[in-house]
Amino acid sequence: MTTGEIAPEIATPGLPASLRGTLPGRYYTDPTIFAAEQALIFETGWFCAVLAADLAAAGDFETVQIGRESVIVARGRDGAVNAYLNVCRHRGARICTEDKGSVRRSFQCPYHAWTYGLDGKLISAPNIGEMPDIDRVEYGLNRVHVREWLGYVWLCLAEEPPPFEDTVIGDVAARLGSPDAIVGYQVADLKLGRRISYDVRANWKQIVENFMECYHCGTIHPELTEVLPEFANGLAAQYFVGHGAEFGEEVAGFTVDGSEGLERIPGVAEDQDRRYYAITVRPQVFINLVPDHVVFHRMFPLTAERTLVLCDWLYLPEVVDSGADIDRSVELFHRVNQQDFDACERCQVSMDSRSYARGGVLVPSEHHIGEFHDWVARRVG
């Protein structure tokens, strides 16, 4: 091979029956593929955007990036949550440039002062009296579909959104065996105890794949496998429909040292007690259920190789209001997150290697990740 030549891709040999191939490495680095995912996955399905309690009063808003679109999510004067594309109907200027805040009655474009109510309707504009033919609803902000569930605001940019029950709730039901199995955790009634933001230098799919499997648990999660001993064997709870990983015999609670946790959520059934359930809601939500709290992750893909993850720890309101010590329960999953995201970043740096050009392999305990790959490939090709 002469100077300047590139070595050929290392071909993946025929796989034995116990192994399954993965997506090729370019699916984790190629900006064109990432753009296709933004358009065909994140902009067409339901996206978990905001904790509803963060929009406590009329006029409270957050701006959220969904695919290629910036979206304003705001509490209206009637108490309902509305969402609009963050684009002025006049000349396309971005209306809100802050991540969050509060307005008294309206949003005003900083360019030409077109002003919109919390319901999205065009309220005023310079010289609008000279344009009596303008329909203020028609030229209001473009609305985004909104659904509230589990205390979060879910949005869909599609003109005709897919059925929420078949997609979001369907993913929960497929994991737990029934859509009712999550009801007793009263997620919508819980209160935010802690939020940690993670800026992960990895493609969003790396993070989904990592969360779905536990083949790595015995290697990088010593605290987690102390609390959930069966995870040391490499089979994730998500591998079995309806299964929750059981706490170890000497473990008192889902805490970093296995010590006693907090007050059990009243609706948690006896057969759910002392168990951990993990749920992936495609494409960007992870829900972790334990008897005394819920850990809720939202992913926001920023580039092909960078993802923002917001992780919320949710507890009974009386636990948060009392100032109870939640540090040990937060610390357990915070360490798990740090360990997982570090692993994802170690994989990400190899995705452009010629060694991974044709992808890698999945062992039997990871074969369900192949279904996720199929789901992605059906949407982006």
Same-domain pairing of 142 and 198? no
Same-domain pairing of 145 and 181? no
Spatial CB neighbours of 250, under 8 Å, sequence gap ≥ 6: 258
The H or E element that residue 279 is part of is: strand 275-281
Phi, psi of 353 (to 5 degrees): -70, 145
Same-domain pairing of 244 and 345? yes
How many residues can be counted in the chain? 381
Domain count, the chain: 2
Q: Is 36 helix (H, G, I), strand (E, B) or coil?
A: helix
Same-domain pairing of 103 and 231? no
Beta partners for 215? none
Same-domain pairing of 152 and 235? no
Residue 359 covered by a domain: yes
Phi, psi of 280 (to 5 degrees): -105, 120
* Residue where one domain finishes, among candidates 156, 189, 224: 156
Write out the two tokens for 255.
């805490």
Residue 356 covered by a domain: yes
Same-domain pairing of 66 and 181? no
Same-domain pairing of 121 and 193? no
Same-domain pairing of 200 and 301? yes
Reported for 271-274, long-range contacts at CB under 8 A and 24+ positions apart, including other chains, are 272/181, 272/184, 272/244, 274/246, 274/247
Q: What is the per-residue burial (b if ≥16 Cβ within 10 Å, else e) of 194-220?
A: beeebebebbbbbbbbbbbbbbbbeee
How many CB atoms are closer than 10 A to CB 164?
Answer: 16
Same-domain pairing of 232 and 364? yes
Write out the two tokens for 286.
């992870």
Same-domain pairing of 227 and 350? yes
Amino acid at 262: L
Range of the domain at 368: 177-380
- CA 330 to chain CA centroid, nearest Å: 18
* CA R_g for the chain: 23
Amino acid at 94: R
Q: Is 171 helix (H, G, I), strand (E, B) or coil?
A: helix
Segment-wise mean pLDDT, segments of 10 residues, the chain, 381 residues: 41 80 97 98 98 98 97 97 98 96 96 96 90 87 98 98 98 95 98 98 98 95 97 82 94 97 96 96 98 98 98 98 98 98 98 97 94 96 78
156 by Cβ neighbours in 10 Å (0-12 / 13-18 / 19+) ranks as buried
159 by Cβ neighbours in 10 Å (0-12 / 13-18 / 19+) ranks as exposed
Query: What CATH number is attached to the domain comprising 93?
Result: 2.102.10.10
Residue 162 covered by a domain: no
Amino acid at 170: G
- Cα 285 from Cα 299, distance rounded (Å): 6
- Cα 189 from Cα 242, distance rounded (Å): 23
- Cα 234 from Cα 220, distance rounded (Å): 11
What pLDDT sits at residue 381?
A: 78
Beta partners for 315? 191
Residue 42 covered by a domain: no
Residue 62 covered by a domain: yes
Residue 297 covered by a domain: yes
Same-domain pairing of 316 and 205? yes
pTM of this structure = 0.94
* Residue where one domain finishes, among candidates 96, 122, 156: 156
Spatial CB neighbours of 164, under 8 Å, sequence gap ≥ 6: 46, 147, 149, 154
From residue 12, how far is each of 17, 209, 235, 371 by CA, in Å? 14, 20, 26, 20
- Cα 62 from Cα 102, distance rounded (Å): 9
Query: What CATH number is attached to the domain comprising 344?
Result: 3.90.380.10
- Cα 144 from Cα 134, distance rounded (Å): 22
* 48, 281 Cβ separation under 8 angstroms: yes
Residue 164 covered by a domain: no
* Residue where one domain finishes, among candidates 105, 122, 156: 156
What pLDDT sits at residue 32?
A: 97
* 21, 294 Cβ separation under 8 angstroms: no
- Cα 181 from Cα 172, distance rounded (Å): 9
- Cα 46 from Cα 41, distance rounded (Å): 9
- Cα 37 from Cα 377, distance rounded (Å): 10
Same-domain pairing of 195 and 331? yes
Amino acid at 306: R
Residue 222 covered by a domain: yes
What pLDDT sits at residue 12?
A: 52
